[in-house]
Structure 1
Amino acid sequence: MRVLVIIGTRPEAIKLAPVIRALRRVTDYVTVCATGQHTDLLREAFRAVDITADHEVTLDRTSSRPEITVARLLESLPAVIERVSPDWLVVQGDTASAFAGALAGFHAGVPVVHVEAGLRSGDLQGPWPEEAYRSMIARIARLHFAPTPAARANLLAENIDEASIEMTGNTVVDALHYALEKARSPAVVAQLEEILGDIPADRPFVLATAHRRESIGEGLRNVAAALRAVADDASATIVFSAHPNPAVAAAFRGLATEGGALRVIPPQDYLAFLNLLDRAEIVVTDSGGIQEEASCLGKPVLVLREKTERPELIAAGNGVLVGTDRERIYTTLRGLIENQSLRDQMRRAHNSFGDGKAADRIAGRLLREWRLANPVAKVVAVP
C-alpha cells in the first residue's frame, strides 16, 4: 500500500504526524511531500514532531494570494504524484495545500483521503478561503475522516455517501499526547524564560493569538485595543504570541505595557507554544487548532470569531464566541479573569475532540480498504 501525504503548513504537520506514524506501522511505503506553503514554520514543526519530508516542492512566495499558491501547486504536484504512484493521497483540513493536493490527486485518478473532514461554518467568507476549500475537497474525496459527530452530520447533509465517512476523533489529540512531555522539558522552559522572564504565579496567565485573514485591519486593531485595556484594568498577565504575517504584526506593534501585564513575544515554535498553552489559565484565539488544543488541555477559550466550524467547543462550555468587537472582548475576558469559579466550570467541560486514537483508526481504515481492492497483495503485518 503506497500512501502520499501532502503537507503545507505547521498545523497540517502537527495533525498529520500521528497519521504518518500510524501508517508506517502498517506499510513501508509512506511518502511525505512538503509544499513550501509555510517553509520555515513547516521545517520547525517537522523537527518537533519527528517526521521528515521525502519531497519538497519549491514554491515561489512572491505572492501571498491563495489562488496563486493553488495554481503553482497544481503545476508542481502532478510530477510528485506520478513519481510516487500512490494508492491513497492524504490531505488534512482546509489549506491551499490541502485543496491543491486533493485536486491534483483527483486529476491523477488517485483516491483522495480527507483528514478532519466535515468542518463547516456555513459562511464562505468566514473563514475565507478555507470554508470553500474544505467544502470542495468533500466533493472529490474518496474517504472522509470526520473528527466529531457534528462534522459527520455536515457531510451527510451534503449527500456524501455514509459508507465513505468514518468518525475518528481529531488527530490533534494524538499529537498532544505525543508532544506534551517534550514541551514540558527543561530546555523548552529555559527557552521561554529567556523571552518572557518571570510570569507571576499570583495572577491569571492569559495566552492570546490572532491571525485570521478576515480580521486583518479593524478587527485586529479592536483585539489589540481590548487586550491593552484588560491589561490596564485587570490583575492578570497577558502574553500575546505574534504571527509571522506582517499585516498581523502591525496591529500589535507597540502594544506591550511597561509593567509586564501585557507582553508581546515573537512567533514561537510548536513545543514552546504548547508549553505556554499548557501553563495558561485562559486562551484568547481565532485559531481553529489552538481552540482544539486548549479544549483538550481544559483551558477556557475566548474565540475571536463571529462563527465557528467547531461548535462542539461552545456547546460543551469550553469556549465563548466574542468576535472582534472591542467591548465584548474586554467585558468577557475581564469577567473571566475576575471569576475563578467560572474558569473552573469551563475547565471541567467535556473535551469533544477525541481520545487520542484517531490516527490508528485512519490507518486501519485505509489498510482495510486497500486489502479489499488488492486481496492477494502482501502487506506489513498489523501489530
Structure 2
Amino acid sequence: MEKKVLIVFGTRPEAIKMAPVVKELKNIDSLNTAVCVTAQHREMLDQVLDFFKITPDYDLDLMKPNQTLNELSSRIFSKIDVVLNNFKPNLVLVHGDTTTSTIVALASFNRQIKVAHVEAGLRTYNKSAPFPEEINRQITGRITDYHFAPTKNAANNLINNENVNPKKVYITGNTVIDALFWGIKNINDKRLEISKLESKTDKTKKLILVTGHRRENFGKKFESFCNALLTISKRNDIQIIYPVHLNPRVQSPVTKILKNIENVLLIKPLDYEVFIWLMNKSYLIITDSGGIQEEAPSLKKPVLVTREVTERQEAVESNLVKLVGTNKKLIINETIKLLDSKEEYNKMISADNPYGDGKASKRIKNIINSL
C-alpha cells in the first residue's frame, strides 16, 4: 500500500528550512510526498519556493493584511482539514514554531494522523519570549509523534524536561544549514537585485547587516534598538544595511529614527538568495532572528542578538552569538568591541557551528524511510 507524506509550511523561514527536506523526500520512489503551503507569508514565501524550485501541490493562500493570530488560526484549521481529507496522508511534517505548524499539527491529531516535527525541542520556557513562538513549539511538541531535534540540548529538553519517549526523538542537525550550503552554491551573482545592491555597498567600510521584527520588542524597546544604530552610524568606518520588515510597527520607528542617515541604507526585505549573498558580504550582524543565529556561524560572522533570551542556547555557549537585548548602551559597546578588536572578533568566529553539517535533511529522509 502506498505511503503518503504531507509537508506543510507557511512562512519564509519554514520554507527555507523545509526545502532540503522536500527535495530529499521527493527522491523516495516508495513515498507519495505532497507539499502544502498556507501562505501565512505570501510574497516572501513565493521567493523561497522559486529559488529552491518547489511547486506546492496545495496552496491555501491565507495571507490577509492585518489579520490577528486567532483569525489566521481559524482559517488554517478549516482549509487544512480539506487537504487532509482529500490527500489522506500517513504522516504530516511541520516545522518549528509558527501558527501554521501548531494548527496543522492539531488538525492532523484530530484526524489521528501521525505528526513529525522538524526543528523540535527548542525552548526558552518563557511563554512571552519569543511570543507566540515559544507556546507554539510547546503545543506542537505535545502533539508530535516523531521529534527531529537539531541538537542534543533540544533533545534533552524533550526527554528530560517533558517526558517524551527517547525512542521518538532523533538528533538530526538543523536543515537551515543544508539550505544555506545549497543556497550559497546556487547564488546567481549576475542577478539584477544583487548587482544593484552591490553598487550601493561601500567596499571601503565594514558592513553591518541588521534585521529586526520580533513582536516582544515592539514599542520603546524597538526605539532603543534604533537609537543604538543611530549612534553606531556616526562612525565613518562602517556602513549599516537594514532590510526593513514590512510590519508597520517596525517600519514606523526605523523610518523615523534612521531615515536619511548617510551611511545607513534602509531597503525593502530581500529574497533568500540576495539575503544570504549580503550575509556573506557582511562584517558582523545585529539581529533578533532565530535562523540567522544558526546560519551566520557557518559563514564565520559574529552575531549580536537583540533579544533577552534565546531558544538557541548552543550558539551563546560557543560564544558564536551574544545576547544584547534592546539595551542601547550594550548594543553600542558590543558592536564597537567587534569593530575595534580583532581579538574579540576572532573569539566569536572560531568555534564550529553547533547546528549542523549540512546533512540534516538526509538523516530525516532516512528516518522517515525506516518508519
| TM-score, normalising length: structure 1 | 0.92
Q: Partner of 1:72: helix, strand, or coil?
A: helix
Unpaired segments ≥5 residues, structure 1: 370-383
Structure 2 equivalent of residue 372 of structure 1: none
Whether 2:302 is the aligned partner of 1:300: answer yes
Match of residue 185, structure 2, among 163, 181, 202 = 181
Q: Tell me how far apart the structure 1 counterparts of residues 70 and 261 of structure 2 sit (CA, whole Å).
A: 44
Deviations 1:225-274 (A, max 9, x none): 10110011362111111111121111110444757422111111110011
Match of residue 77, structure 2, among 66, 74, 79 = 74
CA RMSD, 1 decimal: 1.5
Unpaired segments ≥5 residues, structure 2: none
Structure 2 equivalent of residue 32 of structure 1: 35
Q: Partner of 2:203: helix, strand, or coil?
A: coil
Whether 2:323 is the aligned partner of 1:321: answer yes
- State the Cα distance separating 1:195 from its structure 2 match: 4.0
Match of residue 87, structure 2, among 84, 88, 91 = 84
Whether 2:98 is the aligned partner of 1:107: answer no
Q: Partner of 1:232: helix, strand, or coil?
A: coil
Do the aligned partners of residues 60 and 46 (structure 1) sit closer, same or farther apart at CA in structure 2, a change above 3 Å counting? closer
Structure 2 equivalent of residue 266 of structure 1: 268
Q: Tell me how far apart the structure 2 counterparts of residues 187 and 233 of structure 1 sit (CA, whole Å).
A: 31
Q: Tell me how far apart the structure 2 counterparts of residues 354 and 149 of structure 1 sit (CA, whole Å).
A: 11
Structure 2 equivalent of residue 11 of structure 1: 13
- State the Cα distance separating 1:49 from its structure 2 match: 1.4
- State the Cα distance separating 1:198 from its structure 2 match: 3.9
Do the aligned partners of residues 363 and 195 (structure 1) sit closer, same or farther apart at CA in structure 2, a change above 3 Å counting? same
Using the TM superposition, name which of 341-350 and 92-101 deviates more.
341-350
Q: Tell me how far apart the structure 1 counterparts of residues 218 and 267 of structure 2 sit (CA, whole Å).
A: 19
- State the Cα distance separating 1:345 from its structure 2 match: 2.2
Indicate if the aligned counterparts of 2:42 and 2:63 stay in contact, CA closer than 8 A: no
- State the Cα distance separating 1:35 from its structure 2 match: 0.4
Equivalent position amino acid for 1:368 in 2: S
Equivalent position amino acid for 2:177 in 1: V
Structure 2 equivalent of residue 379 of structure 1: none
Q: Tell me how far apart the structure 2 counterparts of residues 141 and 257 of structure 1 sit (CA, whole Å).
A: 45
Structure 1 equivalent of residue 286 of structure 2: 284
Match of residue 340, structure 1, among 336, 339, 342 = 342
Equivalent position amino acid for 1:225 in 2: N
Indicate if the aligned counterparts of 2:243 and 2:270 stay in contact, CA closer than 8 A: yes
Indicate if the aligned counterparts of 1:255 and 1:262 stay in contact, CA closer than 8 A: no
Structure 1 equivalent of residue 134 of structure 2: 131
- State the Cα distance separating 1:193 from its structure 2 match: 3.9
Whether 2:161 is the aligned partner of 1:161: answer no
Q: Tell me how far apart the structure 2 counterparts of residues 252 and 24 of structure 1 sit (CA, whole Å).
A: 42
Structure 1 equivalent of residue 240 of structure 2: 238
Residue identity (%) = 34
Do the aligned partners of residues 225 and 79 (structure 1) sit closer, same or farther apart at CA in structure 2, a change above 3 Å counting? same
Q: Tell me how far apart the structure 2 counterparts of residues 249 and 221 of structure 1 sit (CA, whole Å).
A: 11
Q: Tell me how far apart the structure 2 counterparts of residues 167 and 259 of structure 1 sit (CA, whole Å).
A: 46
